[in-house]
Amino acid sequence: MMKRLAFFLGFALLALVSCDNNSIESVQLDKVVLQLRVGEYYQLHATVIPEDAFVSSLQWNSSQPEVASVVAGIVSAHKEGTANITVETGGYSAACLVVVAGDTLGNITAGEDVTGAVEYLPKSGKRGVSFNFTIEDDIHLLAPFISWSYNWGPDVTDVNNTLFNQYGLDFYPMAWNGNFDADRIRAYKALNPQCEYILAFNEPNLTDQCNYTPQQAAEHWPELKALADELDMKIVAPAMNYGTLANYGDPIVWLDEFFTLVPLDDVAAIAIHCYMGSAGALKSYVERFYKYDKPIWMTEFCAWESHISNVQAQMNFMNEAIAYMEADPKVEKYAWFIPRANGALDSYPYMQLLTKTQPFQLSELGQVFAGLSSLDKSVWLSTQNYILPNTYSAVNSQESVGQEGLLSIPHLRPTTDSSGGLQLADFSANQWVEYQIDAHKQLSVLRVRYASYANAELEISLDGEKIADGAFERTGDASVWNTAEIPVDVPQGKHTLRVTVKSASLYINWFKFE
């Protein structure tokens, strides 16, 4: 149990409150003294006075973490002794004295063990990162979940090259501008004959990047084209963004002129960058480049606008943007910018996938990036195991591809449930997810692990036919979990299970057939 609890505690969540900008007058805890035995844990609740005061985050600390540790207010007792647990926000703090007795509790179970369940669908051939890997641990952390990478340069180190090949991770060299090092690209290709692509000039319509007019780029093009032909490699077009170069702020204007000077057939794909703050805006931006009738590579993206005020906002954007790009057949590749940056994890724009100190780990955002569905339909989930929420093979926003706008979807987040892993959050009316299941026998019950602020309803469909409705009583909070049972009739064999929210909103941590 403690192993599972430790896993759960690894998903520390900042306590965020959205309210008016009133000043904090004090902070209080629901316990002043707390008595626990070894192996017990307790959720401390902090109250800010006044209740409508603005709180950016709550910082929790333990004076003796080896006795009692605290993560997001959850106190876990490790050994006999005492520890002061403090919470601080806005210059105010409160404390609780934790007294841990030496009697070890016998059988503590706070949730169910989901060991054996499929944790991830196969990694997406589209998914990558734009990043210069300088720490080997970072490759080990990300490579199981991505298929490609680039670093704005012509090659990688020998160590990285070995690790990339071990993981089957493609690296694509870049000719950042016309002064590229052709010999280093040749050497990389000689070591990696499977490498297919060279990325062309980086953001030529930005004055602080490549800074080329279409004419200037075209003047450098023959050398790049000759190198690609020599190495039997394909060229990905110059990577475009909205820019600062006079008369070429619009990337379409730049590309239209460029392709009057260079044949469109010289490029195998169109590369674009996007830092818009909504997935709907990203989708509209991608659709502008359909006109070239080439595969689209989104070689840099994250949400980088002022309303992205915390990690959860970036996480919501990531969910929606990646679900869209996985579903759009015209998007061939995408690369998250950037796995690690100079600022703190909780600093704007909140896009880092990796932690900052050893032992390095995936950040909460990185856990979601790794777990987001590739919409792979080759995997059938055995009903002998738990079905985890991120293993869906389809989601309702797929209906938006080729249509105006973008439907909202449930968001994956690190769960607050004790079993750990990821949960579906904000799963709201008319949204749906589908799972490909392989029923090992006739099944009559679907158990659903859920949390909710209000009474909610689900509709369960099998192979396009409704088979059940489920009513879910409110648990009162997103961190208070319950398990509901829905009578179903599922024949043995392979089926597509669709789960649709009919009313209110739910958080879901797993499904289990019986």
- Write the DSSP assignment of 62-110 as a string of letters: ES-TTTEEEETTEEEE-SSEEEEEEEEETTEEEEEEEEEES---S---S
Whether domain 2-101 has CATH 2.160.20.10 = no
CATH number for the region 127-135+146-355 comes to 3.20.20.80
Class of domain 381-513: mainly beta
Could you report how far apart the first and last alpha carbons of the chain are, in Å?
A: 24
What is the SS3 assignment for 415? coil
Tokens of 295: 């595969």
Phi, psi of 487 (to 5 degrees): -65, 130
Whole-number pLDDT of residue 32: 75
Domain spans, the chain: 2-101, 127-135+146-355, 381-513
Tokens of 382: 């055995």
Whole-number pLDDT of residue 30: 72
Averages of pLDDT over runs of 10 residues in the chain (514 residues) are 30 32 75 73 73 66 84 74 85 84 40 78 97 97 97 99 97 99 99 99 99 99 99 99 98 99 99 98 99 99 98 99 99 99 96 95 97 97 96 98 98 92 97 98 98 98 98 95 97 99 97 98
Whole-number pLDDT of residue 465: 98
∠ CA 284-287-288, rounded to 5°: 95
Residue with tokens 């869906």: 392
Whole-number pLDDT of residue 67: 86
